Amino acid sequence: MTPASGAGTGILKIGCPDARGIVAAVSGFLAGHGANIVDAQQHTDKSDDAFFMRVEFELAGMDIAQADVVPALQLVADRFGMNWGISWSDRIPVVGIMVSQLEHCLIDLLARHRMGELQVRIPIIISNHAELASIAAAFGIPFACIPVTAGEKEAAEARAIEILKKANCDLVVLARYMQILSPTFLSAYPMRIINIHHGFLPAFAGARAYNQAHERGVKLIGATSYYVTDILDDGPIIQDVIRVSHRDSVEDLVRKGRDLERLVLARAVRAHVEDRIVVHGTRTVVFE
Amino acid sequence: MTPASGAGTGILKIGCPDARGIVAAVSGFLAGHGANIVDAQQHTDKSDDAFFMRVEFELAGMDIAQADVVPALQLVADRFGMNWGISWSDRIPVVGIMVSQLEHCLIDLLARHRMGELQVRIPIIISNHAELASIAAAFGIPFACIPVTAGEKEAAEARAIEILKKANCDLVVLARYMQILSPTFLSAYPMRIINIHHGFLPAFAGARAYNQAHERGVKLIGATSYYVTDILDDGPIIQDVIRVSHRDSVEDLVRKGRDLERLVLARAVRAHVEDRIVVHGTRTVVFE
Amino acid sequence: MTPASGAGTGILKIGCPDARGIVAAVSGFLAGHGANIVDAQQHTDKSDDAFFMRVEFELAGMDIAQADVVPALQLVADRFGMNWGISWSDRIPVVGIMVSQLEHCLIDLLARHRMGELQVRIPIIISNHAELASIAAAFGIPFACIPVTAGEKEAAEARAIEILKKANCDLVVLARYMQILSPTFLSAYPMRIINIHHGFLPAFAGARAYNQAHERGVKLIGATSYYVTDILDDGPIIQDVIRVSHRDSVEDLVRKGRDLERLVLARAVRAHVEDRIVVHGTRTVVFE
Amino acid sequence: MTPASGAGTGILKIGCPDARGIVAAVSGFLAGHGANIVDAQQHTDKSDDAFFMRVEFELAGMDIAQADVVPALQLVADRFGMNWGISWSDRIPVVGIMVSQLEHCLIDLLARHRMGELQVRIPIIISNHAELASIAAAFGIPFACIPVTAGEKEAAEARAIEILKKANCDLVVLARYMQILSPTFLSAYPMRIINIHHGFLPAFAGARAYNQAHERGVKLIGATSYYVTDILDDGPIIQDVIRVSHRDSVEDLVRKGRDLERLVLARAVRAHVEDRIVVHGTRTVVFE
């Protein structure tokens, strides 16, 4: 049998009804083919008897070729009714970024990318405004300005999808993109569009989140990143908060919130591109 | 003029429309009478031009008697249209605690009281259940069991108020008291009843807060303490959160939430009895 | 073969040099005997190629008796040179508490025990002072006062060990016990004595931790719980901090630190009694 | 008398031995000249009877000219033996940044500057390496590369000081500048050089802070910003931490630490340029 090539790893993600012997079947399969398991995590959601697993294993030393792993694993998956997928470390995620006029999340992602923190390729930044073109240029990323005017939204979205697809993007990050995407757009990237909301969901949805928080007199503000679905501000992945006080004006909340948004979005993108997220209904399992 | 007696302090709290010269008028008044200012904090809410101030000053050395401070200050207060009040450190706050069956907040408050952290007198614990009588006994606090049965709520509340008033309570702390209080009860202690809610308000109000948080898949849970008003779970004072993950069941949320509730409630009670809270409409100013 | 009895679980903890096939061997063994794996976590420390694993499995359905699991697993363990151990959920941990005069950690542990958060048996509280006898009595726990006087420390320790052993304690929690234990005492409970230190180790070791923190002007304080060893304040398990400011006096640091100490100690004790800690040289692996 | 011009504010900072009447004297002086106090904060350090105050007041409406405020206030200051200073909002702080090869703090400061969060002028970035010239160019800031070679350190420092002075810098921010500055350099900017240290001081000083933290097995890492003095890693202003676990390698600590360093440094610079810091011996008072 042709040995698997390369020094890379495979990441296997599984979701299925809980059952006896899943861990043994998966790890037995991998060990039986000579794979070294680098990391394994599992989680059982007792409220609905669902089982989740993430296994990272080395290709080097395996007695089957990389291309043969998927069909062989399918036999195991069928036994347990698994939703599953595998990704290979030799495949770099390709991320398209969409942004409007606020630059803090964009700069943060580009800086992390430049420092090697985000192991992705970023072939394109799309904006409905022209202001941030210079930021894109400073970091050497192509920039496409697609204004979204009344009555022309459908055409604008079609053009954005065309650019994203042509650039082979497999993830779209909305780094403070202030347009609501249509179901058509969403269906082009199902569970592959990450948004950052400037509020602690589900408390303050919509565009005036900081104003609402200030009016209500809360002592903490939040930021939430989530996979975009048809419902506004639904599907959280990561949430975080920062302490505020009565001294903070709405402007202070906005400034403190920016720090939070950047961190929360960066963590969400990292978790996604490192294949650590399993979506389970309206919730997510985020392995560490 | 009779000099002020005692080595204690007075705490002056002020809320009024912002204006020129308030700080100078107040500090000039105090300095003019020989008072030493121990602490002074102010806050201006620019969204509605409201001014808040808290000044703590020593009585020793003043050239007027403690009883004469209030009428003299009233002249200053009238100039600026102040809502104001003064409290004296020789007056120990008297706190009545109401609780149902969950003991964690009660034990926490009693333990802090025993250690001298809460400088208050606790003359009575009222419960609609009998279970926690032994806790009260262990800490040497009288315990009154007033069951709340269908159709008898009015009578039960009347009896509770009678006991609280007889014990001279000036603050009521609901340490996980699971009955909604009537407007009649609330009017007996306006802005003097502190509740702890087991959720991050305004996201998850009501009794099933942890279940709602789990169903929604949030990654943080909260606890909120607030002054009770006619509207359910309104009027936050302090909020805090603790990180949770997909691994946490509802039971885990409840357990982690308990730690949070105790801290949040204890901080709120401390802030109140140390006269650091000024209520401003639906919001609060909490001086540190 | 006699089937395993009971509806309980076993918790297997493993530490060994990293190698190919460990996960498969362990999960294969368990699956081969019909065990359902409830939870499995692993960790590889790449800095020294060490592998750690924690597996919780159900006894019900296994084809070998509980008593036969250990010798059967020893064969697997020998192949990989494992340090390993197994504990059974039908065995309730027995915890002895030692305390001096500060009550906050003691009350916290006893309250958590009363609420069912700490699934342990607490047969004895030992103190070198008499003050906290009433707390012990309030929670219904036997209390032994063993004063430690100059020149009599050896005898006092011998008596404490005798009491702890007689009560079958397998863990000793120092809930602010202000005596340094001798090597002889430590050897009676190796890696089975948990202490709480009122500072962020390794920054501020020793008794004056809060004073040192205040003098140095730090903006955060910490509390550290760890397994006691021969070296003062060594071997951390859990650390946490709380924000402080220039406004905080040493007394404020002490009060805020108390909240922290209780939480940190309670988490450490929980992690230990739930068999989630593997000691690895001077460090620990704490599974979640 | 010439009225004070402009709509700006003055910020008065005071440190002196505690005494009766300081607040009244200062606020009386300001009110007497028609100034509106926008914000006032005070702090008394009881451990050494030191008093600190920060007052921000509007120039508009004052009956003396801006230039006359200082000599008039000196009379008040002399009565109480104050160390004091005043700054005017029409004077924009001028900040020079020094950096070596790590870009995360530099990008963060430049991005905040671009967004208007940091109300300063940044006329120059100095580096002992050439790598980050493109970052400086992207944000439109002049960049001077001054290599520091063995035996040439004195000349390099002299040249850096010359550039900083010529650009009128009144603050120097070391955004991960990896050279130790000589006492001569420090004396050119006493208490005007802010550094960020990648560790929780005083626990882990020096260059290998993350490695030390990992070896010791701590569960939290820190970052500390402080005014640079002759003693290595002394004089903290702001500290913060982030939770880590046994899963984190040294590389993970470095990555998480970067997020922290940026926040901590940005907060310290903001506090300085907003005149909210009073140095008091080895400690600081940081008004909020």
Which of B26, B27, B49, B76 has the most D C-beta neighbours within 10 Å, making it the best mutation to test the interface with D?
B27
**How many CB pairs (< 8 A) connect A and B?**
81
Name the residue with higher pLDDT: B272 or C174.
Answer: C174
Q: What does pTM read for this prediction?
A: 0.80
Chain-chain contact of A32 with C39 (C-beta, under 8 angstroms): no
Segment among A155-169, B219-233, C135-149 with least mean pLDDT: B219-233
Smallest Cβ–Cβ distance between A40 and the set C23, C34, C61 belongs to: C23
Chain-chain contact of A23 with C36 (C-beta, under 8 angstroms): no
Whether the bond between A202 and the residue before it is cis, its omega within 30 degrees of 0, is yes
Measured between alpha carbons, how far is C150 from C129 in angstroms, rounded to an integer? 14
Cα–Cα distance list, A4 to A62, A65, A85, B92 (Å): 6, 4, 18, 77
**How many CB pairs (< 8 A) connect C and D?**
81
Tell me the shortest Cα–Cα distance from D233 to chain B, in angstroms.
30
> Which residue carries 């001086």 as its tokens?
B287
- Beta carbons of C52 and C278 less than 8 angstroms apart: yes
* B-chain residues near A221 (CB < 8 A): none
Q: Hey, which residues of A are catalytic here? A: 233
Tell me the shortest Cα–Cα distance from C13 to chain D, in angstroms.
16
Chain-chain contact of C283 with D217 (C-beta, under 8 angstroms): yes
- Beta carbons of C262 and C215 less than 8 angstroms apart: no
Structure tokens at B181: 């209080």
List phi, psi (to 5°) of B40: -145, 130
Tell me the shortest Cα–Cα distance from D286 to chain B, in angstroms.
14
Chain-chain contact of D246 with C43 (C-beta, under 8 angstroms): yes
Residue A203 has what pLDDT?
67
* A-chain residues near B240 (CB < 8 A): 219-220
Which numeric CATH code is attached to B9-88?
3.30.70.260
* D-chain residues near B220 (CB < 8 A): none
The set of chains that have 3 or more CB pairs under 8 A with B is A, C, D
Q: Which long-range contacts (CB under 8 A, 24 or more apart) does A155-164 make?
A: A156/A128, A157/A181, A157/A182, A157/A184, A157/A185, A160/A98, A160/A126, A160/A185, A161/A185, A161/A188, A163/A96, A163/A124, A163/A126, A164/A96, A164/A124, A164/A126, A164/A188, A164/A189
The count of other CB atoms within 10 Å of the CB of residue A92 is 11
Q: Is the pLDDT of residue A3 over 50?
A: no
Chain-chain contact of A216 with B241 (C-beta, under 8 angstroms): no
Neighbour-count burial of C186, counting CB atoms closer than 10 A to its CB (0-12 exposed, 13-18 middle, 19+ buried):
middle
> Range(s) for CATH 3.30.70.260 in chain B?
9-88
Spell out which chain A residues touch chain B, with contact meaning CB-CB distance below 8 angstroms. 43, 45-47, 200-203, 214-220, 222, 236-241, 245-247, 249-250, 282-286
Smallest Cβ–Cβ distance between D27 and the set B23, B36, B44 belongs to: B23
Chain-chain contact of D108 with A103 (C-beta, under 8 angstroms): no
At D272, is the secondary structure helix, strand, or coil?
helix
Nearest partner of A168 among A121, A227, A112, judged by Cα: A121
State the Cα torsion A168-A170-A174-A179 to the nearest 10°: 70
> Range(s) for CATH 3.40.50.170 in chain B?
94-286
Smallest Cβ–Cβ distance between B28 and the set D24, D34, D61 belongs to: D24
Parallel, antiparallel or unpaired: strands C83-88 and C9-17? antiparallel
Measured between alpha carbons, how far is A264 from A283 in angstroms, rounded to an integer? 17
- Beta carbons of B10 and B275 less than 8 angstroms apart: no
Whether the bond between C202 and the residue before it is cis, its omega within 30 degrees of 0, is yes
**Segments of chain C with pLDDT less than 70:** 1-6, 199-203, 209-210, 213-222, 230-268, 270-275, 277-288
Residue D2 has what pLDDT?
41
Residue D164 CA from chain centroid, whole number: 16
Chain-chain contact of A115 with D259 (C-beta, under 8 angstroms): no
ipTM here: 0.77
Q: Hey, which residues of D are catalytic here? A: 233
Q: Is the pLDDT of residue D4 over 50?
A: no
Tell me the shortest Cα–Cα distance from B96 to chain D, in angstroms.
33
Measured between alpha carbons, how far is B214 from B256 in angstroms, rounded to an integer? 13
Mean pLDDT of D121-141: 94
Q: Hey, which residues of C are catalytic here? A: 233
Chain-chain contact of A219 with B236 (C-beta, under 8 angstroms): yes
Mean pLDDT of D94-99: 93
Mean pLDDT of A42-67: 85
> What does the angle CA C107 – CA D218 – CA C247 come to, to the nearest 5 degrees?
60
- Mean pLDDT score of chain D: 80
Q: What residues are paired with A126 via a beta bridge?
A: A98, A144
Residue A45 has what pLDDT?
77
Chain-chain contact of B217 with A283 (C-beta, under 8 angstroms): yes
The predicted-structure confidence for B67-91, as pLDDT tens digits, reads as follows 899 999 999 999 999 989 888 888 8
The predicted-structure confidence for A180-234, as pLDDT tens digits, reads as follows 999 999 999 987 888 888 766 666 777 776 677 666 666 666 677 777 887 655 5
* B-chain residues near C135 (CB < 8 A): 138
Measured between alpha carbons, how far is D20 from D26 in angstroms, rounded to an integer? 12
Nearest partner of A276 among A25, A76, A122, A85, judged by Cα: A85
Tell me the shortest Cα–Cα distance from A18 to chain C, in angstroms.
10
Nearest-CA residue of chain C relative to B113?
C104
Residue C146 has what pLDDT?
97
Each residue of B195-227: b (16+ CB within 10 Å) or e? bbbbbbbbbbbeeebbebbbebbbbbbbbbbbb
Q: Is the pLDDT of residue A236 over 50?
A: no
Which numeric CATH code is attached to B94-286?
3.40.50.170
